[in-house]
């Protein structure tokens, strides 16, 4: 099985915060998904790619799920309630 890579796109102002918690996030995902091959890649999003602002967790999830429908399955597997 190939390495499972998760890529997260963030604004440059958010990168440091995500980098700070990256190890804990990877460890959590590996444990919960029972997959030690998961890795996390952080991509800086260009400012012009940001089309709208979202404020609630549900809004953020909906916007991300529109771009990556696999997040819906991940949400179900982890038993998350973002509504």
| Residue span of the structural domain in which 62 resides | 52-83
25-79 per-position pLDDT tens digit: 999 999 999 999 999 999 888 766 556 665 787 888 888 888 998 988 888 888 8
Per-residue pLDDT at 23: 92
Choose between 1 and 61: higher pLDDT: 61
Closest CA to 40 of 53, 56, 23: 23
Taking the CA of residue 13 as centre, how many other CA atoms within 13 Å lie in the half-sphere pointing to its CB? Answer: 2
Per-residue pLDDT at 1: 42
Per-residue pLDDT at 50: 55
Reading the block at residue 79, the tokens are: 């038993």
Q: Are residues 36 and 63 in the same domain?
A: no
Q: Are residues 39 and 57 in the same domain?
A: no
> What is the reported pTM?
0.49
3-18 per-position pLDDT tens digit: 689 888 888 888 888 8
Total number of domains in the chain = 2
Helices and strands in the chain, H and E counts: 4, 2
Per-residue pLDDT at 79: 86
Q: Are residues 38 and 59 in the same domain?
A: no
- Helix or strand or coil: residue 24? helix
Q: Which residues of 60-75 are buried (b: 16+ CB within 10 A; e: fewer)?
A: ebeebbeeeeeeeeee
CA distance 16 to 20: 6
Q: Are residues 58 and 45 in the same domain?
A: no
Q: Are residues 35 and 69 in the same domain?
A: no
Q: Are residues 56 and 75 in the same domain?
A: yes
């Amino acid at each position: 099985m190939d390495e499972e890579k998760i890529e997260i796109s963030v604004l440059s102002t958010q990168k440091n915060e995500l980098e700070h918690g990256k190890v804990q996030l990877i460890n959590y995902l590996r444990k919960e998904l029972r997959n030690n091959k998961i890795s996390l890649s952080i991509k800086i999003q260009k400012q012009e790619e940001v089309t709208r602002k979202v404020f609630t967790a549900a809004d953020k999830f909906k916007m991300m799920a529109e771009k990556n429908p696999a997040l819906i399955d991940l949400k179900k597997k982890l038993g998350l309630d973002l509504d």
